[in-house]
Amino acid sequence: MYEKTALQLKDLFVSGEISAVEIVNYFFKRINKLDRKLGAFLQLYPERTLSKAKELDEKRKKGVKLGALAGIPIALKDNIHIKGELTTCASKILSNYQALFDATSTKLLEEEDALILGKTNLDEFAMGGATEYSAFLKTHNPWKLSCTPGGSSGGSAACVSARLAPFSLGSDTGGSVRQPASYCGIVGYKPTYGRISRYGLVAFGSSLDQIGTFSYNTKDMALIASVLGQHCIHDATSLNVPKINILEHLKKNLEGVRVGIPYDFLTDLSDEMKQSFDESVQVIKDLGGEIVEVNLSVLKYAMATYYIIATAEASTNLARFDGVRYGNRDLHAKNLDELYDLTRENGFGTEVKRRIVLGTYVLSSGYSGSYYKKALGARGKILDAFNDTLKSCDLVIMPTAPTPAFETGSIQDPLSMYLMDLYTVHANLTGLPALSIPAGFAKNGNPIGLQMIAKHTQDHFLIGCAHAFEQARPENIQVPPFAKEAV
């Protein structure tokens, strides 16, 4: 069953060949067997999910109309709310926090009869690039357990890559869906800002955050993106645009599609990454795509711009976790000041503290003009450059990450870790839809991803083009040996 796509599983369920209870029991058994070594999940909901599965089986038996995701298992990153369940953000400070409401994404999934298996691990408050900064456990890459799955949505990526669920949700603030998708050899999609509601997602950087999705392939991605891409009255940033059935927009070729490549930004690629990228470019040419060289030299400012804006917003958003309103509090405090100080000192991890301090500094009196306001100006320049570029082409492509997955713990310098987001942060700064698709394998066997970026609200076009690329190279979609051997 683990080899079936989401759509295939749904068809088996709808036709009556298999029950929802059988599906749920199979995947929980698989998780219990594999996740001891993988570390993808923080929480599982066997009783809740089995109850939902029984209801779904009754629904099918009575001939009631079934949802678009009927019988499909899914996992959620543990910064997305499920009412009554823990939302820890992989942090000690929220280790006892129960969500009071469902995220819009959670609600839409369950309305369409998806079966939520549990919550996945992440870097604390989604701040990190290797899922090493979780307060609870480290997640490993199914392709090589000694390597990172990427981050911050590493648990969600590893879960799908190891075929513990056909779908998972993550969040993408600077590449936290696309980068782990690249490292784990699966499809990772960050929508246009506002296309998928952020209501019920614990905020990191509010102008950058988006809920994104992981899947085995682009056809499955089209299905779940269609379900989640709806206007939400609870989210002021939600786009009020028509719902689109993306399955109707999948392409067989790229004839007439102009594909921009910012070679001026790709000068430091290693020989291995350059070879992989050049092979992907040839695939696009073979599919009929027209290659256009574009100038995006302004992207050299994207990393500095991103880390000023992201940390400033993180500092503001995380001020609410003070031991008074949410989660844990330090019981040794003798007064209110100590309560604030000790709760945050003991509740936050090193990386979260680092980003709060940096964000507080760039917002502080006398420095906000030097840093934050200049970063906002640079962000505008980056957006203008992309908008100009996308007048001469329909897509922009580049590597998803500078390298394949690296060994867990091998990067100790924070700046070096931040640079793993080199090719992803600009899509968050601009709000453009972006997607990582498997594009081959490194010499050591680890996957390599190709990133595609499209115009605002052209998510259906983006996924459609990715489908054409995927169909030309089906050998890039594989089950990791770890997931095969342990079955």
Positions marked catalytic: 77, 152, 176
Phi and psi based region of residue 144 (left: phi greater than 0; alpha: psi -120 to 50; beta: remaining):
beta
Place of tokens 């950058």: 208
Q: Cα–chain-centroid distance for residue 116? A: 17
- Three-class secondary structure of residue 51 per DSSP: helix
Residue type, 418: Y
Query: Counting every residue, how long is the chain?
Result: 487
Place of tokens 């996957």: 447
Q: Which residues 6+ apart lie within 8 Å of 472 measured at CB?
A: 283, 286, 287
**CA–CA separation, 180 and 400 (whole Å):** 9
DSSP notation for 71-113: T-EEEEETTB--TTSB--TT-GGGTTPBPSS--HHHHHHHHTT
For residues 296-330, one letter each, b for 16 or more C-beta atoms within 10 angstroms of the residue's C-beta and e for the rest, the string is bebbebbbebbbbbbbbbbbbbbeebbbeeebbbb
Cβ atoms of 146 and 191 within 8 Å: the answer is no
